Structure 1
Amino acid sequence: MIVTTDMTAKEIINDFKENYGKVRKLLDEDSKNDPENEPYTSKYKAKEILIKMRDALANTFSTESNLDPLKGDAMLGIVLLNIGIIDMETEELTASEKVLTEAEELLLPNSSKPEIVTTLINIDNNLGILWSNRDEPEKAKSYLLKSKEFYETFKCSMQMPLPIENIIHNTADSVTGDIMVLEKAYTLTLYYLAQVYGSLKEDLKSAVYCHVTLRRQLQYNDYEPVDWSLNSATLSQFFAERNGFFQSRHHLAAASTILDQYEAKLSEDSTNDEVMLAKKEQLKHRSADVARCWAKYCILLMTASKTRLMNDAETMSEAVTDMSNLQLEDNENICGGDIKNLIFPDLDVTKYENKIGDKFILTYQDAREVFLSCQSWLNKAKEYYKLDSLASDYIELIQDSSQSYAYLAFFEEDDERRSKMHKRRIDMLEDLIKEINPTYYLQCCRQLWYELGEVYSEILNIKLDKLNKTNEKPTPHLLKKINMLCEKSIENYDQFLNSVKDKNGMMPVKLDLDVIRPVISAYAFIGRNSMKRIALDKRTQLIHVKKSFDSYQAVVDICTRDKDAAKMMHVEFSLCQEMVSILPIKIKRLETELAA
């Protein structure tokens, strides 16, 4: 029962204690059991109590009482903070902004006091969330940076923060601080800043804040192992995509290390109830996801190494794989301005870091080691992701495996061995496409048809290069092989193109942006490969040239009616225009010779 007449400090605190206990029970326990059609029942009940508590405290300030004013502000600040959070969670953003702003103004004069600092940080954290929800990241950032400043200023004072549970002890009781409540609030500040910088497209700064959040969770043992590992592995992909293989490998190694620790802990528990089984299943699932991230790391390392070797000598001199060549505007001093500081110093991850390098690949032997690591991680992921239960994920794993063979082939100098690597890709992709239904997995089938067209073209080019390098007359077997490769490449590209056409077999007037490049590339490949087929008579040769002309003409037609396509594929458009003007002469000559 809340009383608003003259009360002693002890009575005021006891009253607050009793009612705040009811509020916490409603929010922390009862709200989980609210019916689906009335999801906010417990929150609204808690808000009613909080409003009465707010009014009672306001009346206390205007009457005679021996309550310490600072303690009174701290209690009222907590009440206003909770009202603001409930308003936000029940989608009353205007009301939430108003009460949180009121709470901030109340506590701001005492921002560095142990009783106030944690609540004030939580208030500005929530104002940051509120403005982020309104798609105002700059405004959200301003509140979160204030939270950060409050924390840093308080830490310099060498005081201990006081959580509300300690503040509302009876005055005769001893009052002790609790550093963890402050540290948890500040960790949330950093986490929200990571999200806000992501919204502001400051991706590197967002990644740095993500890392610091993860590091603090480890430091204060405040994390859930599976979630932490998945977040660390996901962050590793960001670093790898920017050639930060040093940071990427470290975050993946940390993820695997934490999962190992968690698995060991679960294995010590002999219980076998539903909760434990669910934990083990979650571990298996997320371990497969981390394995996929390791495989992506390997593929990205091979990709970047290939790109570097294919670039000019000037670029070759740059062998930076730790992002030390990137500039980070670290005016908030989040990592000391040194991106190489993005490690977890208290975690031993050498077991995993020693398994694979973080430097660019230069030789076939280097590539083979990365390739074998990639295959190992893909096989681990396939223990969980099966074609019959999680088809889309399984298909991606096969595609990743194919790509790893493609990059290994790049580093192989022997033509026969390169051809065998591409043949291995064909086997796995064709085996897969036989098992999946285009009706349900059309997008996947498109990707597979297109990739098969590419792989057959790769082997074709290897055979033709070998033929051009020798003065020997080609054998009938080799000629048959070349024609078969041409036909299989064209067949798969045609399958891909037919999947884009409408029911009448016509290409859409306006192509979707994501298919412009593959559609035009497929037509161009068909045009080239049709001309590479070896014909023993002029009639067959004429059929091949006409097929080539039709493919080049299709590109010209698409780019003529679609400015976006012409702009995106201007090089291919120009080459196809040239071929469309040349080939009719060849067609006419062949027709004349046949008529004669």
Structure 2
Amino acid sequence: MIIPTGMSAKEIVNDLKENYAKVRRLLDEDSKNDPEEEPYFSKYKAKEILKNMYGVLCNMQEAGSGLTKVQIDALKGIVLLSIGTIDMETDEYTSCEKALKEAEEVLLPSALAPEVIILLLNVLNNLGLLWSFRGQPEKAKGYLLSSKKICEDFKATLLMPVPIETILNIVTPKEETSLMDFMSLEKAHTLTLYYLAQVYGALNECVKAAIYCHVTLRRQLMYNDYDPIEWALNSATLSQFFVEQNGFYQSRYHLSAASTILDQYETELLESEIHDEEYLARKETFKHRSADVARCWVKYCLLLMSASKDRLMSDAESVTDAITDLSNLTLEDDENICGGDMKRLKFLDLNVSKYEEKITDKYLLTYEDAREVFICCQRWLNIAKDYYKPDTLASDHIELVQDWSQSYAYLAFFEEDDERRAKMYKRRVDMLEDLLKELNPTYYLLYCRQLWYELGQVYSEILNIKLEKLNKLKEKPTPHLLKKINMLCEKSIESYDNFIASVKDKNGVMPIRLDSDVVKPAINAYVHIGRNSMKRIAVDKNTHLSYVKKSYESYQGVVDICKNDPEAAKMMKEEYALCQEMVNILPLKIKKLEKDLQA
């Protein structure tokens, strides 16, 4: 901006006002229509105007301008902040840092001035964001904590912030504009807390990150500054962190909040009288995200059942004292975010009892406890499956069926009646085999591999129940039971064989070294084939010999894997030792059977 000689201070201020309006128009409107070959055309144009404005401001005197030094510094701050923001958006991080650091130096001496506060918070937030981009979260944290403290100090003064538009006389201060200015301050502060959540996540201070996420969500609700779908999804996502820490109290609460906000949004949708394309798009987004929140509820149910099972198996004497609300967690709350009390993570004026009352947040002790959670899980699964259908969203549908199968597995653990347990496992078999029929291994090999392995496990579980029944019989077993046992052995072996075949190369040869995520299941598959081969009931010696040979080959498969991979041998030490023993023993049995056949 070139100033003609003899311009009065008042004219200079008017020129600044006009140029600032041009900058805003370029950044807020024109930049959206920039050509693909020059995507930053409007931004660069705005940057040139801003540079000229900054030159004028550096030479401006208080006398005659009608502006105080603080106001002139505030104008310098908004210009430098705007330049820094443009540099960040155009990936020019070095010049971005230079502009933002200069803005910080200009504004910091008047940090608590109403004209400066919002600008300074945005400058510090952007410096935090910049250092996050550069992979230095510790440095980013320093700027963000500084922004947090300055905002809290300003609010203690009970003053109202003054925006740049007021300084330039673009708007006249009124009651409603003052409220908007206050909201701008709160919005900048919310952004600080949101960035702190990300930074603490990067620093692996996950609990603090989660708490800052909660505070961000709470403030968005408090100031009615949120998109309902996005808010619900973020709250449900946060619940997943808590549930993984066995914080079922906090997880259930955040899921309930997500579902409550979705209910409110659905009511708003149903009341809409205009059913145009935008409405249909909103409806589709609602259905999609409702399915996602339902999936988070499914994970909650599965993890509650899983954690309850683990506790019952590990320490049956202390299960009644189990803590599920993270109240045993020590939190150094030197930033005063929740008073160190994890139970205080609540959203004011949001009644979530409708959903909290549907499911417990305590560990399960009995079949009746587990059944209630199981039924709740089925409801959420049905909502999710209604959206994630096999013909449109196959991968998601497969994962939902796997979750469905897992829910039966956990319920079966709590069931004491063998026949009913066997029926639950049979239900799993049906759903997994039906799913496999729909899948082409060429395109869904990893999923097929998981399903084959799971089927091998389920058939083995049913087999063990039937063998236990056989061992308890006092009279001679029926041919039907013997046939059933053989069928279960064969089905389990077939499923594990399919899994192992999927790990081998195109020539059917096992790789010298397996990928680390395949080692454990591959060895377990071989071990189960070896065991189940020996559990088959043979009607003649030839058949018996073939079963023993199959068992030997499977145990040898484990020995080969572990000999070629010392890490695998170390990881599966017990299984390796067992298989080495069986590889030494079974040849003697094979020779004896062959000798008997020749006799």
Shorter-chain TM-score tier: over 0.9
Inter-CA distance 32–172: structure 2 relative to 1 (3 Å threshold) = closer
The corresponding residue for 1:382 is 385
**Secondary structure of the structure 2 residue equivalent to 1:383:** helix
Inter-CA distance 174–375: structure 2 relative to 1 (3 Å threshold) = closer
- Is the Cα contact below 8 Å between 2:78 and 2:119 reproduced in 1? yes
- Structure 1, 151-160 or 294-303: larger mean CA deviation: 151-160
The corresponding residue for 2:504 is 501
Inter-CA distance 543–174: structure 2 relative to 1 (3 Å threshold) = closer
| Residues 1:470 and 2:469 aligned together | no
The corresponding residue for 1:73 is 73
Superposition deviation, residue 594 in structure 1: 2.1
- Is the Cα contact below 8 Å between 1:356 and 1:370 reproduced in 2? yes
Code of the residue aligned with 1:248 in structure 2: it is: S
Separation in 2, partners of 1:369, 1:174: 56
- Is the Cα contact below 8 Å between 1:4 and 1:60 reproduced in 2? no
Code of the residue aligned with 2:242 in structure 1: it is: F
- Is the Cα contact below 8 Å between 2:10 and 2:65 reproduced in 1? no
- Is the Cα contact below 8 Å between 1:510 and 1:562 reproduced in 2? yes
Superposition deviation, residue 404 in structure 1: 0.4
Inter-CA distance 170–213: structure 2 relative to 1 (3 Å threshold) = closer
The corresponding residue for 2:527 is 524
| Residues 1:443 and 2:449 aligned together | no
The unaligned stretches of length 5 or more in structure 2 are none
- Is the Cα contact below 8 Å between 1:2 and 1:15 reproduced in 2? no
The corresponding residue for 2:421 is 418
1:539-558 to 2 correspondence within 5 Å? 539-558=542-561
The corresponding residue for 1:210 is 213
Inter-CA distance 388–125: structure 2 relative to 1 (3 Å threshold) = same
- Is the Cα contact below 8 Å between 1:13 and 1:169 reproduced in 2? no
The corresponding residue for 2:52 is 52
Separation in 2, partners of 1:117, 1:132: 23
The corresponding residue for 2:403 is 400
Deviations 1:265-319 (A, max 9, x none): 1222211222111111111110111111111111111111111111124553541
1:119-130 to 2 correspondence within 5 Å? 119-130=119-130
1:103-118 to 2 correspondence within 5 Å? 103-118=103-118
Separation in 2, partners of 1:266, 1:356: 27
The corresponding residue for 1:567 is 570
- Is the Cα contact below 8 Å between 2:301 and 2:377 reproduced in 1? yes
**Secondary structure of the structure 2 residue equivalent to 1:39:** coil
Code of the residue aligned with 1:48 in structure 2: it is: E
Separation in 1, partners of 2:377, 2:61: 67
Separation in 1, partners of 2:147, 2:574: 52
Residue of structure 1 aligned with 2:189, choices 170, 175, 186: 186
| Residues 1:231 and 2:268 aligned together | no
- Structure 1, 268-277 or 62-71: larger mean CA deviation: 62-71
Separation in 2, partners of 1:314, 1:24: 67
Separation in 1, partners of 2:4, 2:56: 5
Separation in 2, partners of 1:572, 1:24: 69
**Secondary structure of the structure 1 residue equivalent to 2:387:** coil
The corresponding residue for 2:23 is 23
The corresponding residue for 1:533 is 536
Deviations 1:525-554 (A, max 9, x none): 111111111112222112111111111111
Deviations 1:380-433 (A, max 9, x none): 111111100000011111111100011111111111110001101111111111
| Residues 1:163 and 2:166 aligned together | no
| Residues 1:248 and 2:251 aligned together | yes
- Is the Cα contact below 8 Å between 2:13 and 2:65 reproduced in 1? no
Superposition deviation, residue 9 in structure 1: 5.3
The corresponding residue for 2:431 is 428
- Structure 1, 6-15 or 559-568: larger mean CA deviation: 6-15
- Is the Cα contact below 8 Å between 2:377 and 2:407 reproduced in 1? yes
**Secondary structure of the structure 1 residue equivalent to 2:60:** helix
- Structure 1, 4-13 or 131-140: larger mean CA deviation: 4-13
Residue of structure 2 aligned with 1:587, choices 575, 587, 590: 590
Code of the residue aligned with 1:577 in structure 2: it is: Q
Separation in 2, partners of 1:94, 1:30: 26
Identity fraction in percent: 69
**Secondary structure of the structure 1 residue equivalent to 2:14:** helix
Separation in 1, partners of 2:36, 2:330: 49
- Is the Cα contact below 8 Å between 1:378 and 1:401 reproduced in 2? yes
**Secondary structure of the structure 1 residue equivalent to 2:389:** coil
Separation in 1, partners of 2:11, 2:572: 78
Query: TM (normalized to structure 2)?
Result: 0.96
Superposition deviation, residue 435 in structure 1: 0.8
Separation in 1, partners of 2:8, 2:411: 79
Q: Please tell me the root mean square deviation across aligned C-alpha atoms, in Å.
A: 1.8
| Residues 1:145 and 2:145 aligned together | yes
Inter-CA distance 418–110: structure 2 relative to 1 (3 Å threshold) = same
- Is the Cα contact below 8 Å between 1:6 and 1:60 reproduced in 2? no
Separation in 2, partners of 1:17, 1:514: 62
The corresponding residue for 1:197 is 200
Separation in 1, partners of 2:549, 2:592: 12
Separation in 2, partners of 1:404, 1:327: 32
The corresponding residue for 2:87 is 87
The corresponding residue for 2:376 is 373
The corresponding residue for 1:35 is 35
Superposition deviation, residue 35 in structure 1: 2.5
Superposition deviation, residue 111 in structure 1: 1.0
Residue of structure 1 aligned with 2:331, choices 328, 332, 337: 328
The unaligned stretches of length 5 or more in structure 1 are none
Superposition deviation, residue 110 in structure 1: 1.0
Superposition deviation, residue 16 in structure 1: 2.4
Paired residues, number: 596
Superposition deviation, residue 8 in structure 1: 5.2
- Is the Cα contact below 8 Å between 2:165 and 2:171 reproduced in 1? no
- Is the Cα contact below 8 Å between 2:128 and 2:143 reproduced in 1? yes
The corresponding residue for 1:347 is 350
Runs of 4+ with deviation above 3 angstroms: 4-13, 61-66, 170-177
Inter-CA distance 170–498: structure 2 relative to 1 (3 Å threshold) = closer
Separation in 1, partners of 2:171, 2:130: 36
Superposition deviation, residue 574 in structure 1: 2.1
